[in-house]
């Protein structure tokens, strides 16, 4: 499993539902969880590892510790109240921006036994759920920025990537 980074077109594709009982998806969930910790993210969606299925793992490093493995997750309600959310994304390294998210959301999903579950997420977990579920519809957090702010963010991202590549070349000469 490799991390898919912007601007790979995979990140803007819509994912399909997981078939109930699909045994392979459990391996995918386990591998994604490993990668989540290895890459030190708060959440990881399947398209970020090149799999176009509706699967997400989330661990916001809260106490008590909880790793969410979500199959076919769906937001079933969202609060009217919005909060500012400072976001970054493993697929857009280094970049950070502030966008608005719903302060709380209700998420319905299937667990590893394909049983229907529901979770109420507030605060950071809510923002994280919205960010990861967006990935399943090909939406990145920068897509929530105004046109102008998005183009500034992309320019900044490209510049940072260029600098990084340049450094890499220098170190490998």
- Residues near Zn ion (CB under 5 A) are 89
- Indicate which residues carry an active-site annotation: 132
Secondary structure, 3-state, the chain: CCCCCCCCHHHHCCCECCCCCCCHHHHHHHHHHHHHHHCCCCEEEHHHHCCCECEEEECCCCCCCCCEEEEEEEEEEECCCEEEEEEEECCEEEEEEEEEEECEEEEEEECCCCCEEEEEEEHHHHHHHHHHHHHHCCCCHHHHCCHHHHHHHHHHHHHHHHHHHHHHHHHCC
If the CB atoms of residues 71 and 129 are measured against Zn ion, the closer one turns out to be: 129
Q: Return the residue nearest Zn ion (CB atom).
A: 89
Residue 23 beta carbon to Zn ion: minimum distance, rounded to whole angstroms = 27
Residue 147 beta carbon to Zn ion: minimum distance, rounded to whole angstroms = 20
If the CB atoms of residues 12 and 171 are measured against Zn ion, the closer one turns out to be: 12
If the CB atoms of residues 48 and 104 are measured against Zn ion, the closer one turns out to be: 48
Residue 70 beta carbon to Zn ion: minimum distance, rounded to whole angstroms = 14
């Amino acid at each position: 499993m490799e991390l898919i980074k912007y601007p790979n077109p995979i990140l803007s594709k819509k994912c399909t539902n997981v078939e109930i009982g699909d045994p392979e998806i459990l391996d995918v969930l386990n591998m994604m969880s490993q990668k989540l910790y290895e890459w030190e993210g708060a959440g990881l969606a399947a398209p970020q590892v090149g799999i176009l299925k509706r699967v997400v793992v989330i661990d916001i490093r809260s106490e008590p510790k909880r790793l969410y493995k979500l199959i076919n997750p769906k937001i079933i309600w969202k609060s009217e109240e919005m909060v500012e959310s400072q976001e970054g994304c493993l697929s857009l390294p280094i970049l950070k921006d502030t966008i608005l998210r719903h302060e709380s959301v209700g998420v319905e999903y299937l667990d590893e036994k394909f049983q229907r579950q529901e979770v109420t997420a507030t605060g950071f977990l809510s923002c994280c759920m919205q960010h990861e579920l967006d990935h399943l519809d090909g939406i990145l957090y920068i897509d929530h920025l105004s046109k102008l702010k998005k183009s500034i963010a992309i320019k900044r991202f490209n510049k940072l990537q260029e600098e990084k590549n340049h450094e890499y070349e220098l170190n490998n000469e």
